[in-house]
Amino acid sequence: MDSATLDLLRVRLTELLGEHRAGRDAPLAQRLATLGWEEVLADDATTATRLLFEARGATLSDADALGPLLARVVADAASRPDLAGATVVIPASLDPRQCSAAIAGGKLRVEGVVLSEPAEGATLVVPVAWMDGHRRLAILRRGAGWSGDRLSGMDETLGVRLRGGAGEADVDWIDEPEARSIWEAATTAARWAVAAELAALGGAVILQAVEYTGQRKQYGRAIGTFQALQHRVAAAYASLVGAAEVTAEASRSGRAWDALVAKALAGKATENACTQAQQCYGAIGFTWEHPFHHYLRRSYVLDRLFGDWRTLEAEIGAALAVRTEVPKIGAI
């Protein structure tokens, strides 16, 4: 895509996600279709997906972009086009190394998180821990007795906790080693996509803090003229730009390591951006009246999604400690 096309797409996606309300509007996929989304994906799926998640982060949209992405990646990795419309159930802890489901008494019990709730009869793809420690993917349909409750906690707009069960006879299985590589592909895509969302959220937070500090006056001058605040904001912004660069590279390479590093950088940079912006806002940033807390709460939960930065940073450290050379990120 040339830069004019990219700019146009960015503007259209930001408009669309900015006014989209899950539950009120048609699913995001249908609305994207009006933008010619399928053609855009065919042209450059990676860049288009990254822009979509960036628009979601900057607008704090609750439109489900992750669900369709996970389904597409799983369908491709499994060579199962029939799964392209499935709902991939994320482990309840949001940690991809854990599983959403287990076998007990001849039944599969599922508890996990989805960003948009699948209808009864919809196809689900669920990672399941097997007794020997192997991972399998269960493919089943949502039954009548299943429950879907809005998530509580830091950000109640994130998604739905899905609970239910199925008899083993009603489950199709994808086994090792295919299941492992499919789940790794899903984790990798989710990590760079959520990293893009986080970095864009952090960018929006910084821009709003810049605007506020230019207006708010203390000691007879705008507080943005104080070097102490300028340095906080500038350092946070530089970290975000670095995280966004690594995220873009990870999206192009599609490598697990790159996505892991991108997610760690974006989570850390965004948390820091929120911390510094909160300092700029002072007490007003601690009130319900001010919109900042929506960004802060969303950033905490996005950081957990597919691995939080503190955990990923420990993973990076452990991996580096046993290597003799610094691994590449993407092409460099």
Contact positions vs other proteins (CB under 8 A): 92-95, 151-155, 226, 228-229, 275, 278-279, 282-289, 293, 296, 300-301, 304, 308, 310
Shortest distance, position 278 Cβ to other proteins, whole Å: 6
Shortest distance, position 235 Cβ to other proteins, whole Å: 14
Contact between 187 and 306 under an 8 Å Cβ cutoff? The reply is yes
Closer by beta carbon to other proteins, 94 or else 162: 94
Give CA–CA dist 327/330, Å, rounded.
9
Shortest distance, position 285 Cβ to other proteins, whole Å: 8
Our CA angle for 125, 129, 132, nearest 5°, is 140
Closer by beta carbon to other proteins, 224 or else 330: 224
First-to-last CA distance in the chain? Answer: 22
Closer by beta carbon to other proteins, 46 or else 311: 311
Closer by beta carbon to other proteins, 118 or else 285: 285
Closer by beta carbon to other proteins, 228 or else 332: 228
Task: Name the 3-class secondary structure at 314.
Answer: helix
Closer by beta carbon to other proteins, 157 or else 278: 278
The beta-carbon contacts of 44-50 under 8 Å, at least 24 apart in sequence, are 44/1, 46/251, 46/252, 46/254, 47/1, 47/6, 47/251, 48/1, 48/9, 49/193, 49/251, 50/192, 50/193, 50/196, 50/247, 50/248, 50/251
Shortest distance, position 286 Cβ to other proteins, whole Å: 5
Shortest distance, position 34 Cβ to other proteins, whole Å: 34
Task: Name the 3-class secondary structure at 123.
Answer: strand
Shortest distance, position 48 Cβ to other proteins, whole Å: 30
